[in-house]
Amino acid sequence: MPRARALIVTLIASLLLAACKIEIKVPANGGTVETLSGDIQCPAGDTCTVSVVDLFFDQTFIGAPAEGFQFTGWARGNRRFCGGSLDPCRLFTAGFEGNAQLESILNSNEVFFLTPEFAPGNGTAAAPSQVKRVLYDNDSNGTLDAVATTRFNSQGRIASTEYRYSGDSTRDRDNVLDDDAGHEISQFTYNGQGRVAKVSTDRDTDDGPERFVTQFTYTSEGGIKQVTFSQQFSGQSAQSGHMDFIYNGGELRRVDTFSAELGAIIQSQRFVYGSNGLPATVTTASELGGFSVTTKFTWRPDGQLAGLTSGSETMRAEYDNAGRLVRQVWSDASDGLHYGELSDAYTVRFERNAQNRVVRRVYDIGSDGSEDIRVTMEFNNQACHPSYFFAPNALPQFTPSAAIPLVPGTGVFRLPDCGVY
């Protein structure tokens, strides 16, 4: 499986499965298929054929359940796009131009499939939906300690997020989002391809106001090329620099972090891939000396994360028979590269609604059977475009997909269900 894969790369790796025609077969009962743009609508019981005839095709398909039904994902199978995914299915031809092989595929008569699956339930929208609020009860006493609110633009992408911490009279067991900020606002802008171009974050902290600006550029295949950052405390510049992403044969091999103040690379990440095309190890090291940590990942056959070891920090992920994440069990979470949200040992349990969306995370500190922290999500009934970011210790939490030009395990992470967790 290619790394840093855009749709065009994935199609080559899948026996040249580039569809100049996409056949959408919608069940007679359950719902419809439509695009976020509104250009394509395929009713229940119909078989619709979409011709892909030029280099400007870019549509995101969603399964929209009828009343009394829920969207359960795109069907798996040979020549089927986005099989097994609950996400909106984005198909696009950007990058074909100048590539004779891809252009010949575009002009072929091949037919491929996009098939929604529905089941009885109380579904109201295709997954993922917009998370409008996240409610943090950091001591599980029924009184909220913090609220995060997400606002969306007309394209279903995150426009801004706002986090407010108020606390209650009970001491927090821990704070799973931010120990320091009482109030934080982030603004998002996008490039012409709908990818995040800039994030500006303003925070009120115990030490005064902080501003952090991050800007992204991308390769022609859709992988991250460079991330620039600048940070200010109380109006004074604190640090700035950039991260360079180095690829080899489509694989992300290294990320170097450069400090403008020191005029040198201060940290590097190096990736080694397994036979499944996903990172087997990631070594993060200070170029100035002081630390070097190798993280080892294990993966399920379906491309989901099975576990990791980073120093003495470990995580084991547990799934149900349908491949849905049920819980994560962490030990020594304060060691290693700090992939975990909390310190020491803990377990997080994921609760889902009828649409199989995660609606609550329950944290058991000490893994002793207690319920110490509860984080609850509230949804809008509109579909969304997931946004992707980068952090060196981001926990892999998405699976390989033709519509995702990024790789789990390389520090890229997705805001789950389009909202702040």
Query: How sure is the predictor about 123, in pLDDT bands with cuts at 50, 70 and 90?
Result: very low
Say which residues have a Cβ less than 8 Å from residue 100's Cβ, sequence separation at least 6.
none
Give per-residue pLDDT as tens, 167-223. 887 888 887 766 666 899 999 999 887 889 999 999 988 778 899 999 999 988 788
Topology at the third CATH level for domain 7-120:
Immunoglobulin-like (2.60.40)
Contact 347, 363 (CB under 8 A): yes
Give per-residue pLDDT as tens, 10-59. 222 232 334 478 899 999 988 889 887 777 889 899 999 988 877 778 88
Query: 79-116: string of b/e by CB count within 10 Å (b at 16+)?
Result: ebbbbbbbbbbbbbbbbbeeeeebeebbeeeeebbbbb
Q: Which residue type does 112 have?
A: F
Same fold, 7-120 and 129-414: no
Give per-residue pLDDT as tens, 300-310. 988 889 999 99
Contact 224, 412 (CB under 8 A): yes
Query: What is the mean pLDDT of the segment spanning 64-72?
Result: 77
Residue 421: predicted pLDDT: 59
String of DSSP letters for 234-266: TTEEEEEEEEEEEEETTEEEEEEEEETTTTEEE
Query: What residue spans define the domains of the chain?
Result: 7-120, 129-414
Contact 199, 214 (CB under 8 A): yes
Between CA 359 and CA 353 the distance in angstroms is: 6
CA angle 202, 204, 209 (to 5 degrees): 75
> 69 vs 299, which has greater pLDDT?
299
CA distances (Å), origin 5, targets 121, 248, 393, 398: 34, 12, 21, 14
Query: 42-60: string of b/e by CB count within 10 Å (b at 16+)?
Result: bebeeebebebeebebebb
Between CA 408 and CA 421 the distance in angstroms is: 18
Give per-residue pLDDT as tens, 221-251. 788 999 999 999 877 877 899 999 999 877 8
Backbone dihedral region for residue 16 (phi beyond 0: left; psi -120 to 50: alpha; all else: beta): left
Topology at the third CATH level for domain 129-414:
Porin (2.40.160)
Mean pLDDT of the chain: 82
pTM of the model as a whole: 0.72
Q: Which of 121, 128, 50 is nearest to 89 (CA)?
A: 128
Between CA 240 and CA 212 the distance in angstroms is: 9
The tokens for 64 are 């929209």
Residue 8: predicted pLDDT: 27
Q: Above pLDDT 70, what percent of the chain?
A: 85
Say which residues have a Cβ less than 8 Å from residue 80's Cβ, sequence separation at least 6.
74, 112, 113, 114, 115
Query: What is the mean pLDDT of the segment spanning 139-166?
Result: 89
Q: Which of 418, 409, 101 is nearest to 255 (CA)?
A: 409
pLDDT at 125 over 60: no
Q: What are phi and psi of 250, to 5 degrees?
A: 85, -5
Q: Which of 141, 180, 147 is nearest to 162 (CA)?
A: 147
| Residue that has been written with the tokens 């389009």 in this structure | 418
Query: How sure is the predictor about 79, in pLDDT bands with cuts at 50, 70 and 90?
Result: confident
Contact 181, 205 (CB under 8 A): yes
Residue 65: predicted pLDDT: 79
CA angle 179, 180, 185 (to 5 degrees): 110
Query: How sure is the predictor about 4, in pLDDT bands with cuts at 50, 70 and 90?
Result: very low
Highest mean pLDDT among 62-71, 142-151, 337-346, 381-390: 142-151
